[in-house]
Each structure stands twice: as structure tokens, then as C-alpha cells.
Structure 1
Amino acid sequence: MELDFFSPVNEELVGGAGNKLGSSLRLHLADKAFPDLEGVKIVIFGVLEDRLDEEPSGEPFNLDGIRWEFYNLYPGNWHLPMADLGDIQKGETVEDTFFAVQSVVNMCLKKGIIPVIIGGSQDLVYAQYRAYDGVEQMVNLVNIDSRFDLGDADKPISNRSYVGRIVVTKPYNLFNYSNLGYQTYFNSQDEIELMDRLFFDAYRLGEVTGDITSIEPVMRDANLVGMDLGAISGGALGNYRLKSPNGFDGKEICSLARYAGISDKVTSFGVFEYTSRLNFPAANMLIAQVLWYFAEGVNYRKNENTISSKKEFIRYQVPIDDEILVFYKSPLSGRWWIEIPFISPANNKLKRHTLLPCTQGDYLDACNQIIPERWYKTKRKNEI
């Protein structure tokens, strides 16, 4: 682990934790050795970078409030080895900060540890994504956000254009991008149409909140997940002066965090857009609970991505027009998948995407001769 990147955790935050999370975490403290990460499943670290924020607060921020609330939560009925590495400070340039984040996330991926990033501006997702450059697979990015953040890829990267930069910058690792909770009035029609042309997935806020369980398959197919705190309503964050009267409430955002945690494929998770404007108790507590629910989800993973697990799946075939859709159901969890056919042996995009997570509703729709939209989009991407 790149120790020089991190400033230690404030030791005063640990006092009084008792049998709460703060007493079980392996912490990077100033007067102690860097924590041993052997056997650790999740590492948490902050990134105090916000220079590419298009609406900067102009004030420095720290994550002490979030840590205080998180350390003072009780663990669930689970014993998940976790560590808090401290914070990555602003580098001399933003690129230096990106390099540090990319290096740490990449190291975690190689060690089989899930990094949880608490950050400033969401352009840090670009560095999180670039950590997958050395991993031989296509990557699915899920973003919980009221905006697509595609922006203008020809302009300098910002917290509103990092997804566009991901799409156009080599190496091209991105297989799919899914946005959860977009609000139409925050996104131009050009961006909405571009999402459709690229066969990316976009779910409006009302669509997600209307049936939040329908989002579980989207999270189950994700490799990295980013959460923009701007997707949460100002009321849920405890401050009606914030510019987001609409958005997810506390229960909904924690449900999404748990779905991300329980996904066998998610290997990194980030919470972004924390600024000095959010440094008050309700917001800090909600973010702490988001981290708690993600950790609980990780604890209850089923490890159904293994070949041996898939051999136990129940197989269903459904003829539709000229297609035969093949569905699989896990007898262990009751979850469903649909098979994506290879177009040709030369196209290797789907080496790790032969089974697409879906819902039982998708299977029932197929039985009624309705082709699932996510299956169609994934198949079309493989044909391009």
C-alpha cells in the first residue's frame, strides 16, 4: 500500500467508541504503525480534492464529522474486517491527486480488498475508473446521480464531465454506464439522446423510487459504483437550504448502498460531492449509515459469480420471435440472470458478461413475448 499518500485519522474521533465500529476498525493513527491489511475486506479512505468542482464552495473541508458518526455505530450481526487509512490530501496538481487515488484503488483490487472512497468533487470517479486499466476485463460503472455528467469531453475534465472523458479516453475499458436517479430538468435533451445512442442505461428518479427492488440487478452487474450526494434531497440531508429539494430520501439511498454492497461484482465504491456545505450532523450521520449499509451488504454476499455456483442454476428457455431467451435462476438466493449470446468468436467484449442480471419480472415479461430492454441494449453493444 502507498503509505505516503495518507494523512492519519484524528485520534480524538476514536475515544468512547466502546464496542462500536470505531473499536474494531484497523486505523491509521499518527503514533502507530500503518494498519496491517492482511484479511481486511474493506478499506475506507478520504480524498480532500475539489478543485475541479464547477460550483466550488471555496472553503476547505474534512471528514471528521462522518468518521465520528460512523465510528459510533454498532456493527450488525457480522464481523467484517475493515480499515480506515485516513485521507489523501490535495496533490500539488489535480493530476497528482488522481494518480494517488488510482494507485491506491489499483492496489486494493490486486489484493482483493474493496476500497470505499469518501471524496470531494465527483471527477474523482475518473481516477477510480482508471485503476481498472490493469484489470483484464470490461468495466460496468453505476452512478447514483441526478445528472449524467457526460459534459463536453473536448473541454477540461470537471465534476460534470468526467463520464464523457471516460467514454472517449484510451484504454477503452467501459462496457456499460448506468445512471440511477437522473432528474430530467438537470440534463439536456442532447445528453439524454446520447445516453440512448450509446445504449447506456438511465433510470429516472421516480422510476427508481417507484420500485427500488428493480435496481438490484443493475447493481449486481456493476464493477464500480459512485454516489453523488447531490442525488439526495436536501431534506434528507437535514438542510433545506441546499439546492436539491427533490432526490432520494435516507431509506432509499441506504437501500441502494446495500444493493451495491451485496453485489458479488462490485469491487470499489465511492461517495462524492462532500463539501463544507454538508458538514452538519444529519448529513454526516446519513453518509455514515450509507457506509454501514454497504458494509452489511458485503457481509451477505452469496459469491454466485463462481463457475461452480452457476452449475447449480436452474435453466429456462423462452422463445420470442426468432430468438430463444435463456434465463437462469439461483436456487440459493432466488435471483435471476439472462444469457447474452456471443455474436462472433472474434468479439471478446462479453467474456465476463455472458450472464446479465435481471428480475423475475423480466422472465415473466419474456413469457408474455416482451423482450427485456437491458438484454436488447447489451446485445446491441456487443454487435457494434
Structure 2
Amino acid sequence: MMYDFLQPVNSEIVSQIQKQSKQALGNKVVFHTETDFPNLDGVEMAILAVNDYRGAGLTNDDEDFSKFRTYFYALFPGNWTVSIADLGTIQAGATIEDTYFLVKSICSELLRKKIIPVIIGGSQDLTYALYRSYDNLDQMVNLVSVDSKFDFAQESGLPFNSYLTKIVIEEPNNLFNYSNLGYQTYFNSQEEIDLIEKLYFDAYRLGEVSQKLYITEPVFRDADIASFDMMSVESSNSGNINYFNPNGFSGKEICALARYAGISDKISSFGVFNFYNSTKEVTLVAQTLWYFIEGYANRYNEYPFTVKENYYKYIVPIDDEELVFYKSNKTDRWWIEIPIFSNIDNKIKRNTLLPCTHQEYLAACEQEIPERWWKIQRRNLL
């Protein structure tokens, strides 16, 4: 059984956690301990720490993530009751491929049980293993990465700089869309930027996202996997001592992005990578995860549409096109209809609605075709 490869949470840490306030998270979570593996029936979210940083050429001194767990489980939940299990820690395998296999296998089993796997720690190339856990599901996969880099680099010997290349190239190819939030141009070669355009992927510069954080909400709403690289956070906010970045997201912004990820009805896996357990960074990562859970607890369950009577329909003529928008009368969120290509025999045919913003609808009324709508049309034809 794959769960046998999980290192249990240290009993002393569990005891210390559970001595805290009865209202704290630590007393609302079930733990994998040396003597007990939690019953996963009814569990909605499973936390997995991964201690393998070889993809970034680094190591982690806190092998069992006790510092993170002690801080995180001392936090108080909001006005929500989310059933959470902490399954322990995946230690580095003999090779990095062994770690990939364990992450893929365990997350695949959790997804089969309709449990959201939450990966904490490890280098960001573990996103590749998380993506591969969808191989046996009958769906295409949309990946959103909060990252200062695209991670297409070929010349780097470190997997965390090139894992996206593996995702795009290797079979089976289940990736439909990749969206980057917060890239910084000087960290990416022009070749990588051109490739993003050529593949009709979505990319938003750091300045654009920071100025209009709300534009990321529909991007997360259309995603299956959310991957957060803590190197995308400004070092003065993150406390990351291994990778100094004077520019990046603030602590408030990274938490807001995590809440957008959580509130997405579609996201079924979440990862926070490339953090190295300094006290300051542990605090921020714990709060980032808290906001993801907060978002999850407030999901509206509007995906996929069940009753279209709950939505207003707007038709906008543009040249020889008719753009069809839907607005929820429950949340005021917007979608745009994607025409179905009946001659294409793949998993895309079911994805007929694309989340969008009210601003994109207003722009369409001014005869401006939404860029994301145009890109998804091009990808459907590839």
C-alpha cells in the first residue's frame, strides 16, 4: 500500500499540538501517527509534506516539518468545518524519480477518493508528479502556477527550472492550458516568452497581477492544479534565506491568491513549494494554506452549471461572431461560452464555458474580443 511509505507525524509533535486550545486547528485534524492511520472516509483534504528539494539543488534541515506543523496547527479555523487529515511526510526516495512516483501514486489515490491533496514543501518540480496523478482520470488538466519563472529552461541542470517542459512534451499529454501568475521578465529568456505565446498559454506579469489581483480569480476558477512557488514572494516578506528576490508578491497578495485558488470549484489539488523552514517563511506558508482552506470552505459549487435558470444570459455581437456570456445571479461571477468543435474527438469537448471577468464582458460590448477566449479557440484547433 502506497500509504506505507509515508512517515507518520511525530507523536511528541502531535501531543504538543493537541495540548493547545481545543478550538485550534490541531484539534480539528486527524493525524497519521506511529500507531494509527486515519480513516479517510468523509475527509475532504489531505496534507502531505514532501522532503525532497533535490530538484532545486538544496536540502531541508527540518525533515519532518515539525516547525511548520507546530505553527500551522496553532491557528484557529474560520467559520468553517472542513474535514482535514495530515498524512505525514514523504521522505526523499533513492532517486528523484522515486519521489515523483510516490507523490503521483498517493495523490492519484486521493483524487480517486475525491480528496484534495495538499502538498507542502519540496522543490517545485513536484508539480510534475502532481500533474501525472491525473493520468488515469478522464479529463484534460489546467495548471496554474504562481511563479516568477516559466520553468521551461533547458540549459539548467535543476529540474525545478524545467519541469514544465516535461509536462508539455511527455505522453500521455493531458495538459490543456497552463497559466502563469506573476512572472518577472528578467528571469525568463525571450525564447521561453515566445514559446508561451506560441502555445497560446496565459501569462501575467507581476506588476499586472499586483495592480489588479481580481483578474486571477477566473484563472483559478478554470484550473485543476494550483502550484505556488514561494520564490515568487518578495524576500522581505517571505524570509526565504536560500533565494533572495527583492521583488515579488507581498505576504498579503500570496494569501489572497491562495484564497482565490481555494474558492475555485474546480481546483482539486494544491501545492506550496520551495520553502525552507525559516521561522518567517513557515509563518507565511502556514497562513497561505489557511487562506486556501478558507476559500475552499466558501466554495459556491457553481461548476459545472447544473441549472442555467440561475444565470443571466448576454449575447454580444462582434463582427461575424456572437459571444455568449453568463452571469450568476448568486455570486455575480461571469463565464463566456466556447463553441464546441464536434469534429474533434478528445476530452476538450465538455469544456464549453470559460470563466471570465465583468470587465471582459464590458470590453466585448466595446467590440474587443477577450484574449483568453481567443487563445482557447486557437488551442482547440491545435
Question: In the alignment, what sits opposite 2:51?
Answer: 48
SS of 2:134's equivalent in the other structure is: helix
Please state if 1:29 is matched with 2:27: no
Question: In the alignment, what sits opposite 2:288?
Answer: 290
Q: Aligned partners of 2:223 and 2:349: how far apart in 1?
A: 15
Question: In the alignment, what sits opposite 1:128?
Answer: 130
Change (3 A) 1:304 1:179: same
Is this contact kept in 2: 1:142–1:222, CA < 8 A?
A: yes
1:208-251, CA deviations, whole angstroms, 9 ceiling, x for partnerless residues? 00010111000000000101010001011136884111111111
Please state if 1:10 is matched with 2:10: yes
Question: In the alignment, what sits opposite 1:20?
Answer: 24
Q: Aligned partners of 1:102 and 1:58: how far apart in 2?
A: 21
Q: Aligned partners of 1:289 and 1:369: how far apart in 2?
A: 42
Is this contact kept in 2: 1:123–1:157, CA < 8 A?
A: no
* Structure 1 segment 1-384 matched on structure 2, within 5 A: 2-14=2-14, 15=16, 16-18=19-21, 19-30=23-34, 32-53=35-56, 55-57=57-59, 61-152=63-154, 158-238=159-239, 242-275=243-276, 279-384=277-382
Is this contact kept in 1: 2:223–2:267, CA < 8 A?
A: yes
Is this contact kept in 2: 1:137–1:352, CA < 8 A?
A: no
Q: Aligned partners of 1:359 and 1:370: how far apart in 2?
A: 14
Q: Aligned partners of 1:95 and 1:66: how far apart in 2?
A: 26
The TM-score normalised by the length of structure 1 is 0.94
Is this contact kept in 1: 2:233–2:247, CA < 8 A?
A: yes
Quote how far apart the aligned CAs of 1:12 are.
Answer: 2.9
SS of 1:120's equivalent in the other structure is: coil
Report the AA paired with residue 128 of structure 2: Y
Report the AA paired with residue 38 of structure 1: D
Change (3 A) 1:250 1:309: farther
Quote how far apart the aligned CAs of 1:61 are.
Answer: 4.4
Higher deviation after alignment, 308-317 or 2-11: 308-317
Report the AA paired with residue 43 of structure 1: A
Change (3 A) 1:95 1:57: closer
Quote how far apart the aligned CAs of 1:94 are.
Answer: 1.3
Quote how far apart the aligned CAs of 1:51 are.
Answer: 1.7
Q: Aligned partners of 2:58 and 2:345: how far apart in 1?
A: 43
Percent identity between the two aligned chains: 52
SS of 1:325's equivalent in the other structure is: strand
Is this contact kept in 1: 2:53–2:60, CA < 8 A?
A: no
Is this contact kept in 2: 1:304–1:310, CA < 8 A?
A: no
Structure 2 residue ranges without an equivalent (≥5): none
SS of 2:360's equivalent in the other structure is: helix
SS of 2:164's equivalent in the other structure is: helix
Q: Aligned partners of 1:70 and 1:90: how far apart in 2?
A: 23
Quote how far apart the aligned CAs of 1:310 are.
Answer: 3.9
Q: Aligned partners of 1:76 and 1:352: how far apart in 2?
A: 35
Is this contact kept in 1: 2:3–2:106, CA < 8 A?
A: no
Quote how far apart the aligned CAs of 1:92 are.
Answer: 1.6
Report the AA paired with residue 222 of structure 1: A
Report the AA paired with residue 236 of structure 2: G
The TM-score normalised by the length of structure 2 is 0.95
* Pairwise CA RMSD: 1.8
Report the AA paired with residue 368 of structure 1: E
Is this contact kept in 1: 2:47–2:86, CA < 8 A?
A: yes
SS of 1:356's equivalent in the other structure is: strand
Quote how far apart the aligned CAs of 1:179 are.
Answer: 0.4
Q: Aligned partners of 2:118 and 2:141: how far apart in 1?
A: 17
Report the AA paired with residue 107 of structure 1: E
Higher deviation after alignment, 308-317 or 281-290: 308-317
Q: Aligned partners of 2:368 and 2:241: how far apart in 1?
A: 43
Quote how far apart the aligned CAs of 1:59 are.
Answer: 5.5
Is this contact kept in 1: 2:51–2:60, CA < 8 A?
A: no
Quote how far apart the aligned CAs of 1:60 are.
Answer: 6.5
SS of 1:314's equivalent in the other structure is: strand
1:176-208, CA deviations, whole angstroms, 9 ceiling, x for partnerless residues? 000000000000011001100000000000000
Q: Aligned partners of 2:240 and 2:305: how far apart in 1?
A: 47
Q: Aligned partners of 1:223 and 1:192: how far apart in 2?
A: 23
Change (3 A) 1:60 1:72: closer
Is this contact kept in 2: 1:327–1:363, CA < 8 A?
A: yes
The list of structure 1 runs, each at least 4 consecutive aligned residues, that deviate by more than 4 angstroms after superposition, is 57-62, 239-242
Quote how far apart the aligned CAs of 1:150 are.
Answer: 1.1
Change (3 A) 1:129 1:290: same
Is this contact kept in 2: 1:180–1:205, CA < 8 A?
A: yes
